Structure 1
Amino acid sequence: MSTPASPPEAERTGAPPVRIGALVPLTRPGWVEAGRHLLAGLDLAAREANGSGGIAGRPLELLVRDTAADPQRATAAVDELDRLGVAALVGEYHSVVARAAAARADALGLPFLCSSAVLDALTDRPTEVVARLAPAQSHGWRTYADFLLGAGHRSIAVAAEPSVYWATGTGILRDRLAARGATVAECDMRALSPADLCEELADRRTTALLLLVGYPEPAVPIVRAVRRDPRLAGVLVGAPAGQPEFPAWAALLGEDGAGIPFLRYLPERLGPLGTRVGAALRERLGEAPSFVAFEGYDTIAVLTEVLRTRGTERTGVSGAWPHVAVEGTRGTIRFSRVPGIGVRQWAWPPVQVVDRDPAAPDRFRVLHSG
């Protein structure tokens, strides 16, 4: 799949395009909604770059590859895009997939600007080839833990499935919460039905349940079961990974999907650029843009500046990460070295804990900022 240059300013030169590989989950079992928003942001920024002259008169062209949440498929896509001569890679939402793509890109010396994946260990070793816009999981999930503590929760359960991402998240939460006297009980959803989970929560006198599971299954049935159990009327249901961000969550769960706090990476108020981009994304998507769409736009905004100032050779692109200072939709983007993280990292995008307002599920409430 390719997104060709359309605006005339970059087309009239007849110069060959600057190709950028874009990794996006567009089919199941990938999170298709997130992929659609990510691609909308990437594509909008690429078209705007072409409308302002492209890269020294050469149009940007996105070569889009569907990862479908499959690490092996992503690795094969990186190899293919490398053979096609892309100047850089962008995108990917799923952390485990992005980790596989980052490892292959690093081995090939192919610059990769990761848009949305948050796993701290995006690479096994420090690298100059990979940079990341999204905050590391440890940063965002500690913010979520602080929200829980501030809300008075001390008996917390996680409904978890096996995954490096979920296991890492559980560890981050447990370390942060236990240091302040809270307990975290792990409920293995391979062995429990939603009804069984409700029994455990009632027995433990849990005050908060966090969904560290797949979406829509089993997250949606778990929410329904908990909401309908009168013993659990006071239990907070949370989804730190952000499932309630997208409209399909509200469509599937209705009122049951409100009041479930999640992480998103937006400021309380967007500036002029963010407001303009948000309106354009809303028109493209036919719905309110998620933070993932803004991540996509910011990715191409950063890469456009790098290509214009440093050229299109791969070594120039990856060598530019420490020198970036680009005004994005959510603040000024710079990359630095963060202890424990092997890639160049924007430290940090704005982090919020948000939920859908029970009185108006289409409206979001900011509960905590980090």
Structure 2
Amino acid sequence: MNTPPSSLAAQCTDGSSVRIGALAPLTRPGWVEAGQHLIAGMELAVRDVNEAGGLGGRPLELVVRDTAADPQRAAAAVDELAHFGVAALAGEYHSVVARTAAARADALRLPYLCSSAVLDALTEEPTDAVARLCPAQSHGWRIYADFLRGAGHSRIAVATQPSVYWTSGTRLLRDCLAPHGGTVIELDMSELTPTAVCDALADHGATALLLLVGHPEPAVPVVQSVRRDRRLAGILIGAPAGQPEFAEWETLLGELGTGIPFLRYLPRHLTPLGVRVEKALRARLVHAPSFVAFEGYDTIAVLTDVLRTYGTDRARIAEAWPRVAVDGTRGRIEFSRAPAISVWQWTWPPVQVVDRDPANPGRFRILHAG
């Protein structure tokens, strides 16, 4: 990046901190483990920045707020953080929550780098205030649909719950599979028990069941019921939203949770930075870091680069997205305008379809990459 005349180094060096607001689900009903990984990655990156001297002589400070998967709680947190004087907003895992946070940040002209929420329509109208690190849902789920077709699955059932995110996912799968003769059958989990899901699968003759539902409820009992039903011995269970990524999945399901393909956003080989970060994250998290932890680290890496070059003025930060060129843990990060995406988008992070190895549930197998 070319340094403009007014960079952070030329601004105040009185030792006061440069603050970044961070949103994450850290209590139920949010996906707590995802939130913990996201914040762990961010905190590690902040530590690295400060150990290297901070930003123009000023320490970087992460101001964390728990969204608990509640959009209104997230909106209130954005207001609070903006008033608190953060230079930028970062984070969030749940798409519906991130959409509310993005709308509020856009209204306040507070730059927001979304770490891990994939819903295409993150804002209703195009905005310069918001950028996103993770791939848009349409990009990742098309790759998942390609995997299903390649594996010979054309009759798909989806166990789903009322949500704009799950509705969008169902529509994307149907749009991708229909031109090739595929069908998508919806099973409404607000009306069906796990046992009733098994009966419906047997009646419809589906060859794959996708879990478009929350974790651990009802995803875990659905997996348990399907895996123990002899009528469904040959059916593929899939989880494009990534439920099997985290250690809790293995703890709750053991061998029953293996062989369930899901999307994750990691390359086959991490960058040299990624290798170092992975080692440090393992020490922090005890378990292997998920892709969400790397998204957290990369979020702070990008914002640090922008702050060093453009300073803490919010308008200048928002103007900087198309000029970003940062070597992250998973590759070179640059933002552009993607068709039908309303925010500045990294085009594209690496995408894999992986599952837990039945022979070793702690090991992931790469089944497909896009």
TM-score (normalizing by structure 2): 0.96
Q: Name the residue aligned to 1:268.
A: 268
Q: Distance in 2 between matches of 1:290 and 1:359?
A: 20
Q: Distance in 2 between matches of 1:75 and 1:35?
A: 17
Structure 2 residue 28 is the aligned partner of structure 1 residue 28: yes
Residue 343 of structure 1, CA deviation: 0.3
SS of the aligned residue for 1:120 comes to coil
Query: Which residue identity lines up with residue 96 of structure 1 in the other structure?
Result: V
Q: Name the residue aligned to 1:156.
A: 156
Q: Distance in 2 between matches of 1:283 and 1:316?
A: 36
- Measured on the aligned residues, the alpha-carbon RMSD in Å equals 0.7
Residue 226 of structure 1, CA deviation: 0.3
Q: Name the residue aligned to 1:165.
A: 165
Q: Name the residue aligned to 1:6.
A: none
Query: Which residue identity lines up with residue 185 of structure 2 in the other structure?
Result: A
Q: How does 1:49-64 map to 2 (within 5 A)?
A: 49-64=49-64
Q: Distance in 1 between matches of 2:174 and 2:37?
A: 31
Q: Distance in 2 between matches of 1:260 and 1:282?
A: 24
In the comparison of the two structures, how many residue pairs are matched?
Answer: 358
Residue 15 of structure 1, CA deviation: 1.1
SS of the aligned residue for 2:15 comes to coil
Query: Which residue identity lines up with residue 214 of structure 1 in the other structure?
Result: G
Q: How does 1:248-263 map to 2 (within 5 A)?
A: 248-263=248-263
Query: Which residue identity lines up with residue 304 of structure 1 in the other structure?
Result: T
Q: How does 1:337-352 map to 2 (within 5 A)?
A: 337-352=337-352
Residue 14 of structure 1, CA deviation: 5.4
Q: Name the residue aligned to 1:65.
A: 65
Q: Name the residue aligned to 1:5.
A: none
Q: Distance in 2 between matches of 1:92 and 1:253?
A: 26
Q: Distance in 1 between matches of 2:149 and 2:309?
A: 45
SS of the aligned residue for 1:320 comes to helix
Whether the aligned pair in 1 keeps the contact of 2:223 and 2:256 (CA below 8 Å) is: yes
Q: Name the residue aligned to 1:90.
A: 90
Q: Name the residue aligned to 1:183.
A: 183
Q: Distance in 2 between matches of 1:126 and 1:159?
A: 32
Q: Deviations over 1:344-363 (max 9, x none)?
A: 00010000000000000000
Q: Distance in 1 between matches of 2:214 and 2:290?
A: 19
Structure 2 residue 110 is the aligned partner of structure 1 residue 120: no
Residue 274 of structure 1, CA deviation: 0.7
SS of the aligned residue for 2:180 comes to coil
Q: Name the residue aligned to 1:232.
A: 232
Q: Deviations over 1:256-279 (max 9, x none)?
A: 000000000000111211110000
Q: Name the residue aligned to 2:10.
A: none
Whether the aligned pair in 1 keeps the contact of 2:271 and 2:328 (CA below 8 Å) is: no
Q: Name the residue aligned to 1:142.
A: 142
SS of the aligned residue for 2:119 comes to coil
Q: Distance in 2 between matches of 1:265 and 1:168?
A: 19
Q: Deviations over 1:135-174 (max 9, x none)?
A: 0000000000000000000111000000000000000000
Q: Distance in 1 between matches of 2:203 and 2:160?
A: 18
Q: Name the residue aligned to 1:308.
A: 308
SS of the aligned residue for 1:153 comes to coil
Q: Name the residue aligned to 1:205.
A: 205
Q: Deviations over 1:231-265 (max 9, x none)?
A: 10000000000000000100000100000000000
Query: Which residue identity lines up with residue 190 of structure 2 in the other structure?
Result: R
Name the % identity: 72
Query: Which residue identity lines up with residue 30 of structure 2 in the other structure?
Result: G
Q: Distance in 1 between matches of 2:337 and 2:272?
A: 29
Q: Distance in 2 between matches of 1:271 and 1:54?
A: 23
Residue 52 of structure 1, CA deviation: 1.3
Residue 187 of structure 1, CA deviation: 0.6
Q: Name the residue aligned to 1:280.
A: 280
Query: Which residue identity lines up with residue 151 of structure 2 in the other structure?
Result: A
Q: Name the residue aligned to 1:111.
A: 111
Q: Distance in 1 between matches of 2:259 and 2:224?
A: 13
Q: Distance in 2 between matches of 1:155 and 1:71?
A: 34
SS of the aligned residue for 2:216 comes to coil
Q: Which runs of 5+ in 2 are unaligned?
A: 1-12
Q: Distance in 1 between matches of 2:327 and 2:301?
A: 8
SS of the aligned residue for 1:312 comes to coil
Q: Distance in 1 between matches of 2:130 and 2:47?
A: 24
SS of the aligned residue for 1:202 comes to helix
Q: Which runs of 5+ in 1 are unaligned?
A: 1-12
Q: Distance in 1 between matches of 2:18 and 2:190?
A: 46
Q: Name the residue aligned to 1:4.
A: none
Residue 51 of structure 1, CA deviation: 1.2
Q: Distance in 2 between matches of 1:345 and 1:109?
A: 18
Q: Distance in 1 between matches of 2:340 and 2:106?
A: 18
Q: Name the residue aligned to 1:361.
A: 361
Whether the aligned pair in 1 keeps the contact of 2:105 and 2:129 (CA below 8 Å) is: yes
Q: Distance in 1 between matches of 2:323 and 2:129?
A: 14
Q: Deviations over 1:59-107 (max 9, x none)?
A: 1101100000000000000000011111000000000000000000000
